[in-house]
Structure 1
Amino acid sequence: MNHRVVITGIGIYSCLGENLEEVSKSLYAGKSGIVFDQVRKDFGFRSALTGMVQEPDLKPFLSRRQRLGMHQPAIYAYMSTKEAMEMARLDIDFLETTETGIIFGNDSTAASVVEAHDKAREKFDTTLIGSGAIFQNMNSTVNMNLSTIFKLKGINFTLSAACASGSHSIGMGYIMIRQGLQERVICGGAQEINIAAMCSFDGLGTFSVNETDPTKASRPFDRDRDGLVPSGGAATVILESYEAAVKRGATILAEVIGYGFSSNGDHISNPSMDGQVRSLNMALKQADIKVGEVDYINAHATSTPVGDSSEAKAIGEVFGGKVPVSSTKSMTGHECWMAGASEVVYSMLMMQQSFIAPNINFENPDDESAKINIIAKTKEQKIDCFLSNSFGFGGTNSTLIIRKV
């Protein structure tokens, strides 16, 4: 039996704001969350630009024991999940007596590993590292912490797929529910934002060095783009079967109708138009809709010369040049492991409020971006169906299609 899969809650903690209301206002205003970080420059980074995400104080919400095993990815994910669960009207008493799963996208816990290693080298005694370090260091840190805090009883694993992690987590939650294996899954993505997590990425030379005006640095699809800007935070999407949501009287926000995926099977970092096209076509086939039924595409476009051109070609080949396209990474920078989840949340906010957030800093198209319909300024438009792309290192591709109910 194929169950319908619906969204009943969303939450966000990002450089655009620490909750849905703040983020929605930033999206509509085309407000950038990119800043210059002197700490990175002093450390020797080639680029000191980043989407800045403050660490929240969890003391009002969690005990010291609960906080002990949490570092940035888990801390951010707690905030976004708390908001999503409040929207979905899910409380711990209900979760403790039902089978609710969690699949979160996360692909690094670099800072906590470095801190534990540094402490051991300083003290020459591993027992002084602290009992919480192991739970901070593991890549499954988000799932380990949230599943125990919220008393979750269902499927529980971390999905690691580079910059498509957050998107694939929603896709896997969708498959679990569609197949009847779970009634409800908390999905999302988390991304630490610190120098330990980003120094090797900076060393590749793929970050923008346009430090004169940080808000102008991330320029997806623009001819003058010179690289991406790293960012982070967390985003959460609550998925449920339609039957389970109706049974408990939940408000249904939208329905996941398509999930496409592919592997390029080629270069470890260079994109592949062929792989992207296969992911797009698979999502459309599974959703059983025509290309003209998609009202908006939130592009993966990270502001790299090769990556943006490849995606523009793929969108053009599958959709032609009419469907509105924008990359919210123009405002957020590249949120890496969380991006696939956060961009679903951003698009959900646009759907709810009938507007398309702008692809800011898009001033001069290149040969490929000139062929698709990139929205450079906020546009009032009803959105009944949107598509979100996520592509990652290693050639992993994910496409989600979500429709109003």
Structure 2
Amino acid sequence: MDKRVVITGMGIYSCLGKNLDEVRDALYNGVSGIIFDPVRKENGFRSGLTAQIEIPELKNELSRNQRVFMPEQAKYAYAATAEALKNAALDPDYINDHEIGLLYGNDSSAEPTVKCVDIFREKRDTTRIGSGGIFQSMNSTVTMNLSCIFGLKGINLTVSGACASGSHAIGLGSLLIRHGYQDCVICGGAQEVNPFSVCSFDGISAFSVRENEPAKASRPFDRDRDGLVPGGGAATVILESYESAVKRGAPILAEVIGYGFSGNGEHISNPNVNGPQRSLLMAIKQAGIDIREIGYVNAHATSTLIGDRNEAKALHLVFGDHKPEVTSTKSQTGHEMWMAGASEVIYSMLMMKGGFIAPNLNFENPDEDSALLNIPSKRIGKHFDIFLSNSFGFGGTNSSLVIRDL
């Protein structure tokens, strides 16, 4: 018999705040974490817009030997995971005595790679690169570092699925627990924020150039959107079997009841309608609920012309006359990329627990597709028990999660 999968802890480090309380307040107050960075313009960026986030100072928490292997995004992930473990009441003794798994979304480690190559080219001596270079530059750097720091003995795997990575990590973690392979899995997503990680995105004109109004640049579903804004940080969700959580007296926050996925099988960067639609339908079918029970949808909508339009079409095809509130928290955070699927679950959880839906900032004029959805441009008070979160990525990878309050 399939096991129930519950959420027992959360942690986050984002442009909206360095912990759950700060992020909840920012969501409630409709705060934007987006700024203009003049250094990016000086270095040849078409757009100087980015989310603002401070790299954690971990000298008082980790040894130098631990920190030397950690790139920027691993430090974000450490901060988020430390909060999530505390939130879930998972102490070192329990972790040492049990097989706790780790699935974390990450799809780049650009800055360390660039720096290693620069040293090699300049010095013409590989020994000058340093011992931390290889571990910082590998795509699996986050899971390598977290598993060693926290002493995790279960599955240890990086999920690399573009902008759906964090969501797929949660979905795959739920499957491992549901089918009895693990009792507890730490899941999440991390994204580096440095210019090296996104300069190629800027080079294909993916970013908004509304530089004189940073807080108004990310405009999901708005008719006048002109591109996304890059963001990042890390978000961690602790998944656990219901039996395990009850046995150890853990706080049970919610239940993962549906995970849907699909591939578009078409263009490498332009999304279609059918792929997201199938991901949505699979998640809802697995959840075993009436579609009208879904009270809120956290859309993937990144503020791009084609992506927002096709997601709006897919949502309308799936939900029809039932029109739950649909927002994209990317209006506040920008696109957190590999982190987004995990952070948006946490944003939605905070709203569900707080009885509100944060505004879809800058939604001033709908287009013909977004006009079919119920998109609030201002914060509303609403009690809802079930939400759905979408995450889609380059290459046509799609992930949808359905989560129920407990």
TM-score relative to the length of structure 1: 0.99
In 2, the alpha carbon distance for the partners of 1:218 and 1:320 equals: 27
In 1, the alpha carbon distance for the partners of 2:209 and 2:287 equals: 40
In 1, the alpha carbon distance for the partners of 2:233 and 2:112 equals: 16
Give the match's secondary structure for 2:15.
coil
In 2, the alpha carbon distance for the partners of 1:282 and 1:56 equals: 38
In 1, the alpha carbon distance for the partners of 2:399 and 2:126 equals: 41
1:41 aligns with 2:46: no
Q: CA deviation at 1:320?
A: 2.2
Matches within 5 A, 1:146-165: 146-165=146-165
In 2, the alpha carbon distance for the partners of 1:305 and 1:120 equals: 41
Deviations 1:206-240 (A, max 9, x none): 10000011000000000000000000000000000
Q: CA deviation at 1:116?
A: 1.0
In 1, the alpha carbon distance for the partners of 2:63 and 2:194 equals: 25
Deviations 1:116-136 (A, max 9, x none): 111122222111111111110
What amino acid does structure 1 have at the position aligned with 2:302?
T
Equivalent in the alignment of 2:294: 294
In 2, the alpha carbon distance for the partners of 1:170 and 1:212 equals: 37
Q: CA deviation at 1:189?
A: 0.1
Deviations 1:31-67 (A, max 9, x none): 1000001111011000000011110101111011111
Matches within 5 A, 1:2-41: 2-41=2-41
In 1, the alpha carbon distance for the partners of 2:73 and 2:176 equals: 24
In 2, the alpha carbon distance for the partners of 1:356 and 1:290 equals: 21
Matches within 5 A, 1:393-404: 393-404=394-405
Equivalent in the alignment of 1:201: 201
What amino acid does structure 1 have at the position aligned with 2:231?
S
What amino acid does structure 1 have at the position aligned with 2:100?
T
What amino acid does structure 1 have at the position aligned with 2:234?
A
In 2, the alpha carbon distance for the partners of 1:375 and 1:70 equals: 40
Matches within 5 A, 1:127-146: 127-146=127-146
In 1, the alpha carbon distance for the partners of 2:191 and 2:370 equals: 28
In 2, the alpha carbon distance for the partners of 1:80 and 1:382 equals: 27
Give the match's secondary structure for 2:77.
helix
In 1, the alpha carbon distance for the partners of 2:33 and 2:139 equals: 26
Give the match's secondary structure for 1:375.
coil
Give the match's secondary structure for 2:169.
helix
Matches within 5 A, 1:340-379: 340-379=341-380
In 2, the alpha carbon distance for the partners of 1:117 and 1:306 equals: 36
Q: Note if contact 1:9-1:85 (Cα within 8 Å) is conserved in structure 2.
A: yes
In 1, the alpha carbon distance for the partners of 2:92 and 2:66 equals: 15
Equivalent in the alignment of 1:324: 325
Equivalent in the alignment of 1:391: 392
In 2, the alpha carbon distance for the partners of 1:57 and 1:17 equals: 15
Give the match's secondary structure for 1:257.
strand
Q: CA deviation at 1:182?
A: 0.2
What amino acid does structure 1 have at the position aligned with 2:14?
S
What amino acid does structure 2 have at the position aligned with 1:392?
G
In 2, the alpha carbon distance for the partners of 1:381 and 1:320 equals: 21
Give the match's secondary structure for 1:373.
coil
In 2, the alpha carbon distance for the partners of 1:271 and 1:28 equals: 31
Instruction: Give the share of equivalent positions with the same residue, in percent.
Output: 65
Q: Note if contact 1:186-1:237 (Cα within 8 Å) is conserved in structure 2.
A: yes
What amino acid does structure 2 have at the position aligned with 1:319?
F
Deviations 1:133-181 (A, max 9, x none): 1110100000000000000010010000000000000000000000000
What amino acid does structure 2 have at the position aligned with 1:401?
V
In 1, the alpha carbon distance for the partners of 2:320 and 2:192 equals: 36
Q: Note if contact 1:120-1:126 (Cα within 8 Å) is conserved in structure 2.
A: yes
1:232 aligns with 2:232: yes
In 2, the alpha carbon distance for the partners of 1:87 and 1:24 equals: 15
In 2, the alpha carbon distance for the partners of 1:215 and 1:312 equals: 23
Structure 1 consecutive aligned stretches of length 4 or more whose deviation exceeds 6 Å: none
Matches within 5 A, 1:174-189: 174-189=174-189
**Stretches of structure 2 lacking an aligned partner (at least 5 in a row):** none
Q: Note if contact 1:320-1:372 (Cα within 8 Å) is conserved in structure 2.
A: no
Give the match's secondary structure for 1:285.
helix
What amino acid does structure 1 have at the position aligned with 2:165?
S
Q: CA deviation at 1:100?
A: 0.3
In 2, the alpha carbon distance for the partners of 1:274 and 1:46 equals: 32
What amino acid does structure 2 have at the position aligned with 1:361?
N
Q: Note if contact 1:350-1:383 (Cα within 8 Å) is conserved in structure 2.
A: no
Deviations 1:332-368 (A, max 9, x none): 0000000000000000100111100110000000000
Equivalent in the alignment of 1:110: 110
Give the match's secondary structure for 2:259.
strand
What amino acid does structure 1 have at the position aligned with 2:232?
G
Q: Note if contact 1:163-1:336 (Cα within 8 Å) is conserved in structure 2.
A: yes
**Stretches of structure 1 lacking an aligned partner (at least 5 in a row):** none
In 1, the alpha carbon distance for the partners of 2:208 and 2:292 equals: 35
In 2, the alpha carbon distance for the partners of 1:213 and 1:233 equals: 22
Give the match's secondary structure for 1:374.
coil
Q: CA deviation at 1:90?
A: 0.8
Give the match's secondary structure for 1:24.
helix
Equivalent in the alignment of 1:88: 88
In 1, the alpha carbon distance for the partners of 2:311 and 2:376 equals: 15
Q: Note if contact 1:107-1:161 (Cα within 8 Å) is conserved in structure 2.
A: yes
What amino acid does structure 2 have at the position aligned with 1:343?
E
What amino acid does structure 2 have at the position aligned with 1:70?
M
In 2, the alpha carbon distance for the partners of 1:145 and 1:385 equals: 34
In 2, the alpha carbon distance for the partners of 1:244 and 1:88 equals: 12
Q: Note if contact 1:354-1:380 (Cα within 8 Å) is conserved in structure 2.
A: yes
In 1, the alpha carbon distance for the partners of 2:112 and 2:246 equals: 41
